[in-house]
Chains A and B, each alone.
Chain A
């Protein structure tokens, strides 16, 4: 028997913060990825955005935002390693959209900080995870 590696181990270093109030059913977040190259594909940023919304939550002082992790906590990832490894292969692509015009690249020491604003379809994401039995809904138990 061996433990499956969790998704967080395969993600680049990233930061997530709120980027204002999104349309109903979505979160608007700014994701910054630290990379040795100045070119980071949208997919990598989108994957970090979904991971951050699910397991880290985000805040922003300027917009006075604070949201808890959608999945409850990072423990949920460890308890459902197989599901999330599969989820982060392809399924996650259905829940984000990177706003192309928001791309910023800043050199920080020997690395680049590549940032983009991402829209995350949080209501659909939550609903699908509830249906898969990964997270509980308000309806659970009733």
Chain B
């Protein structure tokens, strides 16, 4: 009896023990698209026949000393806060080494392909939770120079801006550009970190925000989201599963038809029941398993796009 009580107490506090071992979000600094464009660090990406201009991070980090210094200084300041950053140059290098193997993802039965943009590939490789975009501009008025500096923290899962610091420093006659840049980074960092703190507090309380789409393969099987199981439509069954498995039942079913459901602002737990980190693919994988069991016995396939969006396609693998 005594043993049973001890076991119950351990079980009761298990989530707290797991919580205490929570994994830190990872952060990575990248130059903003605008900065890359203004400074000529863009490259062309062939997106299924359509030409897209995208930032060339590799070229930028390898050739621009000011960018290298700014990224290093931000990294130093974040390390002092106990948050070492993912290194952009190392991530770019490792991405290059394995670019060929990730070129294409193919559906096993349908043969459909999934093209990934270089940015998606970078995000998937770095698995950074927060991207810190940095940009600056040198302003010149006569002999005086000043720096307009912008720092934006973007949640890689939702692309939402979660922290920002922006401003123009005091003009100077004599200070060199690296000094002005260093001052700008130091001056703006505290405000930025304080906003980041609010975002982390929200993550810990309400879970991570992602988007999930449910689709039906048009393979002639006749499966539809209006199909009934024990008098309940599949749409409602999925909706109920979402309510039971999201943090504080927080999600928004923004659109639903007989062959698609679009969930926004889905708050998924940071951790699985075994204490390991949860991501969008694993969360949707849980739904896939639920639907594969009786009485539904629905075969489905999980496709992810970036870190914060996943599609569950019902009907076949």
Contact = CB atoms under 8 A, between A and B. Distances in A.
A123 B167 CA distance: 22
A53 to B, nearest CB: 11
20 contacts: A20-B170, A21-B169, A21-B186, A24-B186, A25-B80, A63-B170, A66-B191, A68-B190, A68-B191, A123-B80, A136-B197, A137-B82, A137-B197, A138-B82, A138-B83, A138-B193, A139-B83, A141-B204, A142-B23, A142-B24
Nearest to B22: A142
A74 to B, nearest CB: 15
Interface in B144-182: 167-170
Interface string B183-221: 100110011011011001100100000000000000000
**Chain B CB within 10 A, most for which of A24, A68, A139:** A24
Contacts of A65: 187
A138 B25 CA distance: 10
B106 interface: no
A9 interface: no
Nearest to A64: B170
B81 interface: yes
Interface string A15-55: 00000110011000000000000000000000000000000
Interface in B70-102: 77, 80-83
A138 B197 CA distance: 5
Given A21-B186, A141-B204, 7 more contacts: A24-B77, A64-B170, A66-B191, A68-B190, A138-B193, A141-B22, A142-B200
Nearest to B193: A138
Contacts of B187: 21, 65
B201 A64 contact: no
Interface in A84-142: 122-123, 136-139, 141-142
Nearest to A61: B170
Given A67-B191, A138-B193, A142-B22, A62 B81 contact: no
Interface in B229-270: none
Contact of B190 (A20, A62, A67, A137): A67
B200 A141 contact: yes
> Taking chain A's interface residues, is the majority helix, strand, or loop, or is none over half, making it mixed?
loop
B167 A64 contact: yes
Nearest to A141: B204
A20 B197 CA distance: 25
B190 to A, nearest CB: 6
Contact of A139 (B81, B168, B186): B81
9 smallest CB-CB distances across A and B, nearest first, come from A139-B82, A142-B24, A21-B183, A138-B81, A141-B204, A63-B170, A142-B22, A21-B187, A64-B170
A138 B200 contact: yes
Contacts of B191: 66-68
A64 B196 CA distance: 22
Interface string B265-303: 000000000000000000000000000000000000000
Contacts of B24: 139, 142
A64 B187 CA distance: 10
A126 to B, nearest CB: 9
A67 to B, nearest CB: 6
A23 to B, nearest CB: 9
Nearest to A63: B170
B5 to A, nearest CB: 30
Contact of B170 (A25, A62, A67): A62
B19 to A, nearest CB: 8
**Chain B CB within 10 A, most for which of A68, A137, A138, A141:** A138
Contacts of B190: 67-68, 70, 122
